[in-house]
Amino acid sequence: MEISDKPGQKEAEPAFKFIGNVHGDEPVGRELLLLLANWICDNYMKDPLATLIVDNVHLHMLPSMNPDGFALRRRGNANNIDLNRDFPDQGALVANYPWDGTEDRK
The three-state secondary structure class of 62 is: strand
Residues of the chain with pLDDT under 50: none
CA 82 to chain centre: 16
Phi and psi at 66, nearest 5°, equal: -130, 65
Whole-model pTM: value is: 0.78
- 24 contacts: CB under 8 Å, gap ≥ 6: 66, 67, 68, 69, 70, 71, 72, 73, 74, 75, 76, 77
- The reported pLDDT for the residue numbered 104 is 56
pLDDT 10s digits, 61-81 = 999 999 999 999 999 999 999
Sheet holding 2-3, edge to edge: 2-3, 58-62, 15-19
